[in-house]
Amino acid sequence: MFSSYTVYIATVLLSSVFASLAQKYSRTNKKGIRIPNKFFWFISMAILIFIMGFREYTIGVDGANYIRGYDIANSMSFIDYYSTFTTEPGFYLLYRLVYFIFNDYQWLFIITAAITIACFYKAFSYEIDNISLGLAVFIFASTQYFYYFGIMRMGVAVSIIAVAYRYILQNEKKKYIWMVLIATLFHYSAPFALAALFIKPNQITNRFKNSTLIKIMILIPLGFYGVRYLIYPFISASRYQGYIDSTGTISLGFLTSSLPFLILFSFFYNMLVAKNKSYQFYFFLFIIKLFTEIFAPVIGIGRMVWYVNISICFLLPASIRVNRDHMIKLLVLVFIILYSAVYSYNAYFGDSFRGGYMLPYENVFFKLVN
């Protein structure tokens, strides 16, 4: 008899294996761009979409609230709805479209899962020549994927931003801003991703300027204080009062959540930068994550880190790729596996807050008892 843990572990491992196969049997298209094998890449995505999209609404935080939002949005006019609620317009439109086309709320879960996973995979595929796709998917599936079981709106927004980072690497800022605007239609926190605009390339070397570090150190706390004193006074919704009432300034949680990675990535920084421009960009994204965690108490919420957490999915596999010492490669790989397993268990399962919403797993096609 299968247990919920068996299903979740199989989901992570199988999606990773098929991602590896997609890279192994990749091909070069007419533009000379290497792309993953479509069959294996689709199977890898389908596994994650199936477990996320076809879950019962009781699986994952806020499932019941999304059902309530779906029912309310389709029981009153647009004007009446927005006189009371502040749902992002993109997600409101999705509420209405799902009702109009399918008249079944399950499709809300399926479509958001498909968009979220497809966009993240698109972002991963861009780096097919620089990282192990299987390892990137493994890190994502074990440490980030389960978070989006409940935070569906943000999952769509974050995944759109993940794709949009390519425009920063290509120095196409206008396209990036448009993508941020699209993401904002699904979650109002998406403008946070505009911080990536400060990661500017050096026009001579075509690499990113190291002065970016100083800008990030100043930008993050200033931006958070701007939100606290310029935006929070206009928010009256009771659901946000916990954030608004926060009185903290600095969190020391980064000492365990990010500092070990900072040490690891800093140790390999010169090798990363010398190898590929993308690695340097993702290193700066990680620095944004670090300072976001440190100053999260200013706005009472640390959720913004999800816009930059994808940096770990690139930097950890890159740390293996740039090393020639097989022992170091093995040690980093063991670290990745242990970290992913421990993080996943403590963040989404076991005695964690989300654990109560993830176990036992229930799908529209089957239900597990443990």
- The larger pLDDT score, comparing residue 3 to residue 246, is at 3
Q: Report residue 336 CA to chain centroid gap.
A: 18
**So where are the chain's domains?**
1-150+326-364, 191-322
Mean pLDDT along residues 169-193:
94
Averaged over 204-213, what is the pLDDT? 67
**Res 204: pLDDT:** 53
pLDDT digits (tens, 9 = 90+) for 234-258: 666 656 555 556 666 788 888 888 8
Q: Please determine, for residue 51, whether its predicted confidence score (pLDDT) is greater than 70.
A: yes
291 CB neighbour count, 10 Å cutoff = 22
Helices 38-53, 106-125: inter-axial angle, 10-degree rounding:
140
pLDDT at position 332 is 94
- Which residue is it, tokens 């969190």? 251
What pLDDT band is residue 205 in, cutting at 50, 70 and 90? low
Q: Which two tokens stand for residue 101?
A: 């086309």
- Rounded to whole angstroms, the Cα distance separating 285 from 280 reads 9
Q: 303 pLDDT band (50/70/90 cuts)? A: confident
In terms of Cβ atoms closer than 10 Å to its own Cβ (0-12, 13-18, 19+), residue 36 is buried
Q: Which of 36-50, 198-212, 314-328 has the lowest mean pLDDT?
A: 198-212
Name the pTM for this structure. 0.93
Question: What local confidence, expressed as pLDDT, does residue 1 receive?
Answer: 45
Classify residue 339 by its DSSP letter.
Answer: H
Alpha carbon separation from 166 to 94, 134, 276 (Å, rounded): 26, 20, 14
Of 229 and 357, more confident: 357
- Express each pLDDT in 93-126 by its tens digit: 999 999 999 999 999 999 999 999 999 999 999 9
Q: How confident is the model at residue 185 (pLDDT cuts 50, 70, 90)?
A: very high
Distance of alpha carbon 56 from the chain centroid: 22
Q: In the prediction, which pLDDT does 241 show?
A: 57
- Cβ atoms 107, 98 nearer than 8 A: yes
Tokens of 149: 């079981």
